[in-house]
């Protein structure tokens, strides 16, 4: 059954103000803490700094984090959305094959700051936006991805609009208009993975979504069938023929109806990244680190490296011979080489200088990709599952092998609370001292008890 614009609007506008399960609240709070950390770290990125040169000195009601500057609500969402996605450290939902916190929190924080909303308001709106994202993914994936669309740029504006409509309590009619206005801005190309255009697209998705909710509140309308219409969003991006006679995908036919008692967040989970690169690399990084921890591997004795990854990774890890740090984040060859050389992977390994380093280039040339046959099923592509097998052949003929099914940080192999907290501290240390970090972390842990988010956001303004 195809989603209807009005059905979605009614769900958003009538979502209960209380009653979220403790496990849902706990996971959303973890997502918020992770998002804040990666956004603070991302504010050091060159793409964020270059984008910020376009910002005028005009003040607004929302903060551009760590800059001391303020902006309009959409502009703050735009810049903070760029920062959050710039280092490829933001969380992932493998059902959406996208980055839900980056698609929801830039606009929600900007709008909540401007309108004095509470932490509970934010958490509720996140939950609503997440459910909308899952519902859309059920009716667009895997076709959307196979056609080359960037899920963050397609799902993001509608998710952000839904969450913001919930936050400011738009009525069903206004909410339907917000969804239609946001759907009209959906765009983004996967071909731009490994370039600065990717985080810019994430920022645009956030700005478009929050702007759509504000335009709808101001009385601007959109088609009442913007999602399901003959030339609508779902038919253009999903598995439905444009002439209106086609059938939806099997997933869409069997999808659960939107229900306030159904919590997709618990069902599909979140992956919190330990490494600042595309998640399709993470199993390979884990595999190399595991091999190195159990074998005395001398890099100079490695003759060849064979890595077997799913066929679906072919169109994600686009750069086998990266020329800069952005491309390196989408290169399994680069990540394997750095893991072997450094025995760790962090932001320091993703600089243009590191990419050009001769030992890295030499080791990359020894890596040969292989793809698992018959592994490009829609189900695999949807869930973003990237198991890996690696064989290291040494100069003496010895072969050392390893394999990893689910990467560290995935919903199946989650980071501990202590590891998540350490990731936050590492990210925040770039801008803050230990006392400031401690105060911010304490505030975020209690965000569901905060009556006005402006109290928390003052800690990230500079």
Do 251 and 384 lie in one domain? The reply is: no
User: At 236, which CATH number?
Assistant: 1.10.4100.10
- Mean of per-residue pLDDT scores for the chain: 93
* CA within 13 Å, CB half, 158: 27
Rounded Cα gap, residues 158 and 163, in angstroms: 9
Do 147 and 31 lie in one domain? The reply is: yes
Contact 165, 10 (CB under 8 A): no
Is 413 strand, coil or helix? strand
Q: What is the dihedral of CA 444, 448, 451, 456, to 10 degrees?
A: 10
Residue 213 has which token pair? 């909710």
The total of other beta-carbon atoms located within 10 Å of residue 458's CB is 12
Q: What is the dihedral of CA 352, 80, 462, 213, to 10 degrees?
A: 170
Do 262 and 310 lie in one domain? The reply is: no
Task: Indicate the pTM of the whole model.
Answer: 0.94
Do 94 and 191 lie in one domain? The reply is: yes
Do 240 and 319 lie in one domain? The reply is: no
The count of residues in the chain is 462
Judge whether 431 lies within some domain. Answer: no
Do 175 and 309 lie in one domain? The reply is: no
Do 231 and 88 lie in one domain? The reply is: yes
Do 153 and 109 lie in one domain? The reply is: yes
Q: Which domain holds residue 304?
A: 279-404
Do 245 and 353 lie in one domain? The reply is: no
Judge whether 441 lies within some domain. Answer: no
DSSP 307: E
Judge whether 413 lies within some domain. Answer: no
What pLDDT does 358 receive?
Answer: 98
Judge whether 427 lies within some domain. Answer: no
Judge whether 436 lies within some domain. Answer: no
The last residue of one of the domains, among 404, 423, 447, is: 404
Percent composition of the chain: helix, strand, coil (DSSP 3-state, to 5): 55, 10, 35
Contact 187, 237 (CB under 8 A): no
Judge whether 435 lies within some domain. Answer: no
pLDDT per residue as tens, the chain (462 positions): 788 999 999 999 999 999 999 999 999 999 999 999 999 999 999 999 999 999 987 889 999 999 999 999 999 999 999 999 999 999 999 999 999 999 999 999 999 999 999 999 999 999 999 999 999 999 999 899 989 999 999 999 999 999 999 999 999 999 999 999 999 999 999 999 999 999 999 999 999 999 999 999 999 999 999 999 999 999 999 964 444 444 444 344 444 568 999 999 999 999 999 999 999 999 999 999 999 999 999 999 999 999 999 998 998 999 999 999 999 999 999 999 999 999 999 999 999 999 999 999 999 999 999 999 644 454 454 467 899 999 999 999 999 999 999 999 999 999 999 999 999 999 999 888 999 999 999 999 999 999 999 999 999 998
Do 109 and 202 lie in one domain? The reply is: yes
Do 257 and 296 lie in one domain? The reply is: no
pLDDT tens readout for residues 132-177: 999 999 999 989 998 999 999 999 999 999 999 999 999 999 999 9
Judge whether 460 lies within some domain. Answer: no
Contact 100, 130 (CB under 8 A): yes
Contact 161, 178 (CB under 8 A): yes
User: At 353, which CATH number?
Assistant: 3.30.1330.120
Rounded Cα gap, residues 378 and 358, in angstroms: 39
Count of domains observed in the chain: 2
The last residue of one of the domains, among 389, 404, 419, is: 404
* CA within 13 Å, CB half, 50: 8
DSSP 226: T
Judge whether 411 lies within some domain. Answer: no
DSSP β-ladder status, 302-310 and 388-394: antiparallel
Rounded Cα gap, residues 386 and 37, in angstroms: 25
The last residue of one of the domains, among 404, 423, 438, is: 404
What pLDDT does 252 receive?
Answer: 45
Do 187 and 90 lie in one domain? The reply is: yes
């Amino acid at each position: 059954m195809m989603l209807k614009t009005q059905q979605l609007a009614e769900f958003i506008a009538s979502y209960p103000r209380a009653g979220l399960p403790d496990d849902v609240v706990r996971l959303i709070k973890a997502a918020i803490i992770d998002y804040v950390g990666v956004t603070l770290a991302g504010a050091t990125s060159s793409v964020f700094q270059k984008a910020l040169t376009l910002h005028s000195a005009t003040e607004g009601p929302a903060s551009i984090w760590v800059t001391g500057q303020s902006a309009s609500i959409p502009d703050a969402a735009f810049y903070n959305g760029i920062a959050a996605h710039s280092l490829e450290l933001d969380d992932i939902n493998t059902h959406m094959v996208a980055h839900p916190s980056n698609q929801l929190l830039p606009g929600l924080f900007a709008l909540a700051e401007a309108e004095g909303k509470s932490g509970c308001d934010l958490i509720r709106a996140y939950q609503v936006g997440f459910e909308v994202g899952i519902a859309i993914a059920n009716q667009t994936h895997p076709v959307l991805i196979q056609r080359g669309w960037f899920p963050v740029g397609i799902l993001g504006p509608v998710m952000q609009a839904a969450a913001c409509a919930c936050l400011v309590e738009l009525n069903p009619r206004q909410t339907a208009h917000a969804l239609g206005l946001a759907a009209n801005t959906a765009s983004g190309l996967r071909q731009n993975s490994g370039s600065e255009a990717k985080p810019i697209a994430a920022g645009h998705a956030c700005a478009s979504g929050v702007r759509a909710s504000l335009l709808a509140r101001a009385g601007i309308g959109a088609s009442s069938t913007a999602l399901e219409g003959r030339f609508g969003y779902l038919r253009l991006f999903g598995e439905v023929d444009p002439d209106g006679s086609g059938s939806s995908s099997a997933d869409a036919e069997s999808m659960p109806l939107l229900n306030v008692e159904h919590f997709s967040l618990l069902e599909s989970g979140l992956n919190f990244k330990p490494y600042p690169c595309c998640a399709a690399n993470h199993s390979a990084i884990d595999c190399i680190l595991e091999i190195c921890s159990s074998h005395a591997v001398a890099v100079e004795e490695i003759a060849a490296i064979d890595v077997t990854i799913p066929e679906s990774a072919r169109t994600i890890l686009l750069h086998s011979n990266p020329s800069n740090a952005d491309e390196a984040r989408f290169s399994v060859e680069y990540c394997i080489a750095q893991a072997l050389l450094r025995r760790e992977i962090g932001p320091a390994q993703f600089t243009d200088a590191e990419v050009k380093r001769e030992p890295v280039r030499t080791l990359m040339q020894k890596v040969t990709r292989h793809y698992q046959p018959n592994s490009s099923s829609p189900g695999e592509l949807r869930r973003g599952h990237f198991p890996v097998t690696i064989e290291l052949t040494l100069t003496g003929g010895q072969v050392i092998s390893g394999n990893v099914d689910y990467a560290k940080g995935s919903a199946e192999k989650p980071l501990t609370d202590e590891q998540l907290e350490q990731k936050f501290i590492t990210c925040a240390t770039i801008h803050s001292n230990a006392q400031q970090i401690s105060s911010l972390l304490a505030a975020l842990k209690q965000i569901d008890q905060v009556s006005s988010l402006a109290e928390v956001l003052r800690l990230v303004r500079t």
